[in-house]
Amino acid sequence: MHERPARLLRGLAILAFAALAFAAVTLRLILGTGIPLQLPPLPVYIFATWACWPLNLAACELLPRRPAIRPPTLAATPHIRNMGRTS
Q: What is the pLDDT of residue 77?
A: 56
Closest CA to 29 of 55, 9, 57: 55
| Residues written for the chain | 87
Q: What is the pLDDT of residue 79?
A: 59
Q: What is the pLDDT of residue 56?
A: 86
Give residue-wise pLDDT tens across range 24-40. 999 999 999 998 999 99
Report the greatest alpha carbon distance in the chain: 64
Please, where are the H alpha helices in the chain?
3-34, 41-62, 78-81
Q: What is the pLDDT of residue 18?
A: 85
Q: What is the pLDDT of residue 32?
A: 93
pTM equals 0.59
Taking 50 as the pLDDT cut, the residues of the chain under it are none
